[in-house]
Amino acid sequence: MPSSATQPPAPIGQPANATAGTTYTITELAREFDITPRAIRFYEDQGLLSPDRVGAGGRQRLYSGRERTRLKLTLRGKRLGLTLNEIREILDLYESPRDTVPQLERFLASLAQHRQALERQMEDLQAQLAEIDQHERQCRALLAAAAPEHEGAAGA
């Protein structure tokens, strides 16, 4: 649950302050996105998030709507297979002035690279599956040929 009035995250292309005023604790974000607080701290260490520090000695992290959006986009990027560096570049473009063209172009380029990598992996997997199919057919043929001999030996 957000610590103040609930507002949806700013979609790509909208100002990052579209959710200004809403704050979240690390526990709230971890629960919402089904990740551990440690994962959120890791993304912070990697420069993907920069929460405000409050409380005694600045020990408590307080995440704005902007940081929530960055976390959501980070997790989406990870699901798409982007590296943390690629995600950081895209997020940094997202933070730039309202011109989203560079962000979208970079995102499309990253998606194209990952599509090619996944297609290569899929080709490799299909080749491996075809090889497994061939070995299975050979094993079944050998078993079928050996079955009469095996039954004769077992009956003796």
* CA-based nearest residue to 13, from 73, 68, 80, 85: 73
3-state secondary structure of 51: coil
The predicted pLDDT at position 33 comes to 96
Domain count, the chain: 1
- For residues 70 and 91, is the Cβ–Cβ distance under 8 A? yes
Provide the strand spans (E) within 10-104. Answer: 23-25, 52-54, 60-64
Name the pLDDT band for 11 (thresholds 50, 70, 90). Answer: very low
The predicted pLDDT at position 107 comes to 79
Average pLDDT of the residues in 21-37: 94
In a domain, 48, yes or no: yes
Q: Rounded to a whole number, what is the distance in angstroms from the first to the last CA of the chain?
A: 75
In a domain, 139, yes or no: no
In a domain, 45, yes or no: yes
The predicted pLDDT at position 22 comes to 86
In a domain, 108, yes or no: no
The CATH code of the domain that includes 36 is 1.10.1660.10
The predicted pLDDT at position 16 comes to 43
Q: How far is CA 28 from CA 2, 53, 98, 152, in A?
A: 7, 16, 29, 70
pLDDT by residue (tens digit) across 54-111?
Answer: 888 878 899 999 999 999 999 999 998 888 998 888 887 777 666 677 778 877 888 8
In a domain, 61, yes or no: yes
In a domain, 35, yes or no: yes
- Its domain, for residue 64, covers 16-98
Q: How far is CA 91 from CA 2, 52, 60, 104, in A?
A: 22, 18, 24, 11
- For residues 75 and 33, is the Cβ–Cβ distance under 8 A? yes
More confident residue, 138 or 22: 138
In a domain, 24, yes or no: yes
Average pLDDT of the residues in 16-27: 72
Average pLDDT of the chain? Answer: 82
In a domain, 124, yes or no: no
More confident residue, 12 or 92: 92
The predicted pLDDT at position 17 comes to 43
Global confidence as pTM = 0.60
pLDDT at 1 over 70: no
Q: What angle do CA 21, 72, 102 make, to 5 degrees?
A: 95
